């Protein structure tokens, strides 16, 4: 058994973490921390946890580091880099669901987010996209858990970029997310009447997941690349669908592209490559850690169109964080998250 703590446990991603870790055979939840709800029973914040006896606590990073084998952070950007330091890492491992340890280029991070306060330990962090960086994750002390849009977008395109089958600078990603991706905080833009019966693009040419996608696909490509990324908000609770377009570098057909996906994902439990002519739907991955991908070749334009789908709170956040923990501690990677999603939902 390992002891875990969750800081930021009452946000949507935090509550999903508590739910998954509560059913993990090798985990003892030592503490659930919440700035807003300290002193409250967790089941009073989220009644679906009844009859849990967990109580929200004010977070004390130093205390948690002494008591826990791993601490999950589900905090706004800038908070993790303020709190995590070398002394903390000497005591426990950190899995950060925020943005602070995802980008290795500090200048890029600070241009898109804010000042980074842990520059001395940033080089220790590994990007926790499990199916791509599994070997790098093993043995590390700090994991930057990928963002939701980025997980879906990168996994949709990685084999094609890695194999040189597409022109990287031609990539266009049109992605759509359920409203839970905006978090649990109050915002007029996310009220039911503002979201229902409507679809809208937002943060056009300025979404903070853009540099994350670019950095990781640049590693795959072997050079820096620039993409076009446009997110949309749709009136559903959870899920992401990313439709990705790119120009082919040759006249590669469907079978050649299929070979590339099978090469990198053929043995991955959590990645499901759709049959020819079948394209993912968010309802097929809802409440699961699966990533589904389908693709086709548009011969008329010599482009590939790849469509990926995930649950933004699961594979896009808490589920992937648990998957990272399983890799770090040598557990079965599917432990606590390997179940088939329910249907209908």
Rounded to whole angstroms, how far apart are CA atoms 267 and 135?
A: 15
- Give all strands of the β-sheet with 56-57 in edge-to-edge order: 56-57, 27-33, 2-7, 70-73, 93-96, 142-144, 126-127
Check residue 145 and give its pLDDT. 98
pLDDT-based confidence at residue 159 (cuts at 50, 70, 90) = very high
Burial of residue 78 (CB within 10 Å: 0-12, 13-18, 19+) is middle
SS (H, E, C) 58-94: CCCHHHHHHHCCEEEECCCCCHHHHHCCHHHHHHCEE
Rounded to whole angstroms, how far apart are CA atoms 303 and 28?
A: 49
Check residue 250 and give its pLDDT. 86
Q: Enumerate the CATH 3.30.360.10 domain ranges in the chain, comma separated.
A: 149-310
- Write out pLDDT tens, residues 96-113: 999 999 999 999 999 999
* Residue 246 contacts residue 160 (beta carbons within 8 Å): yes
Instruction: Given the residues 56, 68, 130, 148, select the one marked as catalytic.
Output: 148
Rounded to whole angstroms, how far apart are CA atoms 228 and 245?
A: 10
* Residue 254 contacts residue 286 (beta carbons within 8 Å): no
Check residue 114 and give its pLDDT. 94
Q: Residue 271: left (phi > 0), alpha (psi -120 to 50), or beta?
A: beta
Coil, strand or helix: which one is 173?
Answer: strand
Q: How far is CA 79 from CA 33, 76, 271, 315, in A?
A: 14, 6, 32, 23
Q: Residue 320: left (phi > 0), alpha (psi -120 to 50), or beta?
A: alpha
- 66 pLDDT exceeds 80? yes
pLDDT-based confidence at residue 232 (cuts at 50, 70, 90) = very high
Higher pLDDT, 134 or 251: 134
* Residue 80 contacts residue 73 (beta carbons within 8 Å): yes
Lowest-confidence segment of 1-15, 103-117, 118-132, 181-195 by average pLDDT? 181-195
Is 130 noted as a catalytic residue in this protein?
Answer: no
Q: What is the fold of 2-124?
A: Rossmann fold (3.40.50)
* Residue 317 contacts residue 11 (beta carbons within 8 Å): no
CATH superfamily for 149-310 is Dihydrodipicolinate Reductase; domain 2 (3.30.360.10)
- 77 pLDDT exceeds 80? yes
Check residue 195 and give its pLDDT. 87
The alpha-carbon radius of gyration of the chain (Å, integer) is 20
Check residue 184 and give its pLDDT. 79
pLDDT-based confidence at residue 194 (cuts at 50, 70, 90) = confident
Q: Enumerate the CATH 3.40.50.720 domain ranges in the chain, comma separated.
A: 2-124
pLDDT-based confidence at residue 38 (cuts at 50, 70, 90) = very high
- 185 pLDDT exceeds 90? no
The helix (H) or strand (E) run that includes residue 212 is: helix 210-221
pTM given for the model: 0.95
- Write out pLDDT tens, residues 297-333: 999 999 999 999 999 999 999 999 999 999 999 999 9
């Amino acid at each position: 058994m390992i002891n875990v703590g969750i800081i930021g446990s009452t946000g949507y991603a935090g509550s999903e973490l508590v739910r998954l870790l509560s059913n993990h055979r090798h985990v003892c939840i030592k503490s659930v921390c919440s700035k807003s709800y300290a002193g409250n029973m967790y089941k009073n914040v989220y009644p679906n946890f009844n009859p849990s006896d967990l109580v929200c606590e004010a977070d004390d990073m130093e205390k948690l580091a002494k008591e826990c084998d791993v601490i999950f952070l589900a905090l706004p950007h800038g908070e993790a880099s303020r709190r995590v330091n070398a002394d903390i890492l000497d005591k426990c491992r950190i899995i950060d669901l925020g943005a602070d340890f995802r980008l290795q280029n500090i200048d890029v991070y600070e241009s898109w987010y804010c000042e980074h306060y842990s520059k001395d330990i940033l080089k220790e962090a590994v990007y926790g996209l499990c199916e791509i960086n599994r070997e790098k994750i093993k043995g590390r002390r700090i994991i930057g858990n990928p963002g939701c849009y980025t997980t879906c977008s990168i996994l949709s395109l990685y084999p094609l970029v890695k194999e040189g089958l597409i022109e990287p600078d031609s990539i266009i990603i049109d992605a759509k997310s359920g409203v839970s991706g905006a978090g649990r905080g109050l915002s007029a833009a996310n009220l039911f009447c503002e979201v229902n019966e409507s679809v809208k693009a937002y943060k056009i040419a300025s979404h903070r997941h853009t540099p994350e996608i670019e950095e990781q696909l640049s590693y795959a490509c072997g050079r820096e690349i620039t993409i076009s990324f446009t997110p949309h908000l749709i009136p559903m609770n959870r899920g992401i669908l990313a439709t990705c377009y790119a120009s082919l570098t040759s006249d590669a057909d469907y079978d050649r592209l299929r070979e590339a996906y099978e090469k990198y994902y053929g043995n991955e439990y959590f990645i499901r490559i759709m049959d020819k002519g079948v394209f993912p739907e968010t309802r097929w991955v809802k409440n699961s850690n699966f990533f589904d991908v389908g693709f086709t070749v548009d011969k008329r334009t010599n482009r590939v169109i790849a469509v990926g789908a995930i649950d933004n709170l699961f594979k896009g956040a808490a589920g992937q964080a648990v998957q990272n923990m399983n890799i770090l501690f040598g557990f079965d990677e599917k432990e606590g998250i390997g179940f088939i999603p329910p249907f209908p939902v």
